[in-house]
């Protein structure tokens, strides 16, 4: 293949049973079952006499799950430029580390017998603190959103300890929805900050929004348009001048890794989406982890437990004015272990290289697509506009070209937004394939893209019903 061949989009057929209108892979319980008698000491009214259970051989089972994976699209199928969410291939060595039997010892074991685990947790606290320019890090929160909530609770504990009763959290309108939810759940009124014409924070609007009521400003930097907040030092000063704290949403840390640190920009609290920035396959709600970093002033308030050195070893303890528990035991420990393995393998040079490639890839892809990109210059992600096309139709159609679509319709300051983040893991040829898919869809008429996807195992599904009326049990249970 020559490079030019990449201008032509590849087309794609997803695996499916072609002779079945209801194209699907039967559930295990629909394939072959066996009636099993139940002999239980529980009261009769709580038990059944017998149960139909799947009865399959190992190869049947292996084929079932392989087929299901072929009917899906994942980070191991091809490019997955889901902006802000940062979906990227996760190196398998981190799974080997997490699968080590020593990693899964019972969390109630004595501290003396889990010194190795505590050491890794301590070192990860230190590594993340160094990467973010923070003084202390808790590993407890199990997701980015949980990190935000924890971080805002820390801000509240800090203000309350100063006898300072504040009621508002300021958040730019381009922020992720979880920012608004976290602030509201922590009991604050949310003040939404309109963006300036260049897509960044409007410092005049910020001045008007800040007051003695401001507990914190939550900021993503680069923001969700991929734009670096050039006025960040001034913004930090403005927030601190009214006694507020500056919170960093770390979901876009990929753009800065090894090159710039939120702590150095004046942020007081931040979370890390370790499943986005480092390694862990995520999506569909988990698994992940959202460690939170803070400056010294806030370290007394960190969740219980925290890990520290003691007598040549390591111990868990409850910080002096801890906000309490935000998760059981050691947080999402195996996800944290994968993070540690990833950081250790890449080293500082590797991390800096990852962010450089993430930014280069986004800029290269942007230069190859025909769409309008209203804001720039951007870092690791950009938001293109689908123009007259419906971004949701564009997204579905891209699957027919064998690529995962970008994040759509957000942030809404761009019409029919296509928020695109190719990540550092793609090479030029894959980016060219992605660009060819973007451009092919861009040139198609509404009728074609409204029918899409045509070549996937499942056609267009009813997303609203799936979200509002989920059927989480196997049909046989519903029928009983
Ligand atoms: C993903 C994301 C979050 C939330 O993180 P989760 O780990 O999904 O809970 C917050 N902010 C931004 C900008 C994000 O992209």
Is the CB of 290 inside a 6 Å radius of any atom of ligand 1?
A: yes
Residues ≥6 apart with Cβ < 8 Å to 452? 393, 396, 397, 399, 400, 460
C-alpha 243 chain-centroid distance: 31
**Ligand 1 atom closest to Cα of 147?**
9
Among 26-30, 188-192, 354-358, where is mean pLDDT lowest? 26-30
Structure tokens at 188: 């604050």
**Dmax over Cα atoms in the chain, in whole Å?**
72
Residue 193: domain span: 94-345
- The atom of ligand 1 lying closest to the CA of 224 is 13
CB 419 less than 6 A from any atom of ligand 1: no
Confidence at 237, pLDDT banded by 50, 70, 90: very high
* Residue 401 exposure: Cα atoms within 13 Å on the Cβ side: 29
Q: Which whole-number Å values give the CA distances from 331 to 49, 274, 289, in the listed order?
A: 40, 13, 8
Identify the band that residue 363 occupies on the pLDDT scale cut at 50, 70 and 90: very high
Helix pair 333-368, 115-132: axis angle to 10 deg: 30
Nearest CA to ligand 1 atom 15: 84
For position 210, what pLDDT does the model report? 98
Q: What is the pLDDT of residues 419-457, one digit of tens each?
A: 999 999 999 999 999 999 999 999 999 999 999 999 998
Q: Is the CB of 281 under 6 A from ligand 1?
A: no
Query: Of 438, 459, 461, 430, which is closest to residue 14 (Cα–Cα)?
Result: 459
Contact criterion met (CB below 8 Å) for 377 and 412: no
Residue 73, pLDDT above cutoff 70: yes
Residue 474: is its pLDDT beyond 80?
no
Out of 14-23, 276-285, 319-328, 348-357, least confident range: 14-23
Nearest residue by C-alpha to atom 8 in ligand 1: 144
Token pair listed for 474: 């196997």
For the chain, report the end-to-end CA distance as a whole number of angstroms. 58
Q: Which atom of ligand 1 is nearest to the CA of 148?
A: 10
For the Cβ of 144 lying below 6 angstroms from any atom of ligand 1, the answer is yes
> Within a domain: residue 440?
no
Output the pLDDT for position 378: 96
pLDDT in tens, 4-38: 445 789 888 888 877 656 557 888 888 888 888 88
Q: Which of 43-52, 60-69, 224-233 has the highest mean pLDDT?
A: 224-233
Tell me what the mean pLDDT of segment 179-185 comes to.
98
Ligand 1 pocket: which of 144, 278, 289, 326 to mutate (most atoms <8 Å of CB)? 144
Q: Is the pLDDT of residue 477 over 80?
A: no
Residue 478 is predicted with a pLDDT of 55
Higher pLDDT, 67 or 367: 367
Q: Ligand 1 within 6 A of 147 CB?
A: no
330 lines ligand 1 (CB under 6 A): no
**More confident of the two residues 382 and 23:** 382
What spacing in Å lies between the alpha carbon of 370 and ligand 1's midpoint?
Answer: 28
Q: Please report, for the domain that includes residue 100, its CATH number.
A: 3.40.640.10
- More confident: 51 or 141: 141
Distance 419 CA to ligand 1 centre (A): 14
Q: Is the CB of 136 under 6 A from ligand 1?
A: no
**Cβ–ligand 1 contact at 251 (below 6 Å):** yes
In this structure, the chain runs to a length of: 480
| C-alpha 286 to ligand 1 mean position (Å) | 11
Domains identified in the chain, total number: 1
pLDDT at 2: 44
State mean pLDDT over 181-202.
Answer: 97
pTM of the model: 0.93
Using a 6 Å cutoff on CB, does residue 332 contact ligand 1? Answer: no
Q: What number is the average pLDDT over the span 127-153?
A: 98
The per-residue pLDDT of the chain, averaged, comes to: 93
Residue 156 Cβ inside 6 Å of ligand 1? The answer reads no
Percentage of the chain exceeding pLDDT 70: 95
Site to substitute for ligand 1 among 174, 249, 277, most atoms within 8 A of C-beta: 249
Ligand 1 centroid, distance to 252 Cα (angstroms)? 9
Q: What is the pLDDT of residue 32?
A: 84
Residue nearest to atom 2 of ligand 1 (CA): 251
- pLDDT tens profile 410-426: 998 999 999 999 999 99
Q: For residue 146, give the ligand 1 atom closest to its CA.
A: 9
Query: Does residue 44 or residue 82 have the better pLDDT?
Result: 82
Does position 3 have pLDDT exceeding 60, yes or no?
no
- When pLDDT is averaged across residues 379-407 and rounded to a whole number, the result is 97
Cα of 416 to ligand 1 centre, how many Å?
A: 21
* Mean pLDDT within 357-362: 98
- Per-residue exposure over 312-321, b if at least 16 CB sit within 10 Å of its own CB, e if not: eebbbeebee
Task: Give pLDDT, residue 62.
Answer: 95
Query: pLDDT, tens digit, for every residue of 85-133?
Result: 999 999 999 999 999 998 988 989 999 999 999 999 999 999 999 999 9
- Give the Cα separation of 169 and 167 in Å (integer): 7
Contact call for residues 199 and 215 (beta carbons, < 8 A)? no
């Amino acid at each position: 293949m020559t490079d030019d061949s990449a201008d032509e989009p590849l087309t794609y057929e997803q695996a499916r049973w072609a002779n079945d209108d209801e194209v699907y892979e039967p559930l295990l319980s629909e394939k072959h079952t066996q009636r099993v008698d139940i002999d239980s000491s529980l009261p009769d009214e709580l038990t059944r006499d017998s149960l139909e259970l799947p009865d399959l051989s190992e190869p049947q089972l292996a084929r079932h799950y392989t087929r299901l994976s072929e009917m899906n699209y994942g980070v191991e199928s091809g490019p997955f430029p889901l902006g802000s969410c940062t979906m990227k291939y996760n190196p398998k060595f981190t799974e080997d580390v997490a699968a080590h039997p020593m990693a899964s010892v019972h969390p109630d074991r004595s501290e003396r017998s889990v010194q190795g685990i505590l050491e890794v947790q301590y070192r990860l606290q230190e590594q993340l603190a160094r990467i973010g320019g923070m003084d202390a890090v808790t590993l407890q929160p199990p997701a980015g959103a949980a990190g935000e909530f924890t971080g805002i609770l820390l801000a509240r504990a800090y203000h309350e300890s100063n006898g300072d009763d504040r009621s508002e959290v300021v958040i730019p309108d381009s922020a992720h929805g979880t920012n608004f939810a976290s602030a509201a759940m922590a009991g604050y009124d949310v003040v939404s900050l309109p963006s300036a014409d260049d897509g960044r924070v409007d410092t005049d609007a910020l001045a008007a929004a800040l007051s003695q009521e401001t507990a914190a400003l939550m900021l993503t930097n680069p923001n969700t348009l991929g734009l670096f907040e050039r006025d960040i030092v001034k913004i930090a000063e403005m927030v601190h001048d009214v006694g507020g704290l500056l919170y960093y949403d770390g979901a876009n840390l990929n753009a800065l890794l090894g090159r710039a640190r939120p702590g150095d920009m004046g942020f007081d609290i931040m979370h890390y989406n370790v499943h986005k920035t480092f390694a862990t396959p995520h999506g569909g709600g988990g698994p992940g982890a959202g460690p939170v970093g803070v400056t010294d002033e806030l370290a007394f308030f960190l969740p219980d437990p925290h890990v520290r050195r003691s007598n040549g070893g390591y111990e868990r303890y409850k910080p002096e004015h801890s906000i309490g528990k935000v998760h059981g035991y050691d947080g999402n420990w195996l996800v944290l272990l994968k993070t540690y393995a990833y950081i250790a393998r890449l080293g500082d040079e590797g991390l800096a290289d990852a962010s450089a490639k993430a930014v280069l890839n986004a800029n290269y892809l942007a230069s190859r697509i025909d769409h309008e990109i209203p804001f720039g210059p951007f870092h690791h992600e950009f938001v293109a506009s689908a123009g007259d096309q419906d971004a949701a139709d564009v997204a579905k159609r891209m699957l027919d070209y064998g690529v995962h679509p970008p994040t759509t319709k957000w942030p809404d300051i761009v019409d029919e937004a296509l928020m695109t983040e190719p990540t550092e893991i793609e090479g030029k040829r894959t980016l060219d394939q992605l660009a060819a898919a973007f451009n092919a869809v861009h040139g198609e008429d509404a009728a074609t893209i409204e029918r899409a996807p045509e070549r996937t195992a499942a056609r267009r599904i009813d997303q609203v019903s799936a979200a509002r009326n989920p059927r989480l049990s196997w049909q046989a249970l519903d029928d009983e």
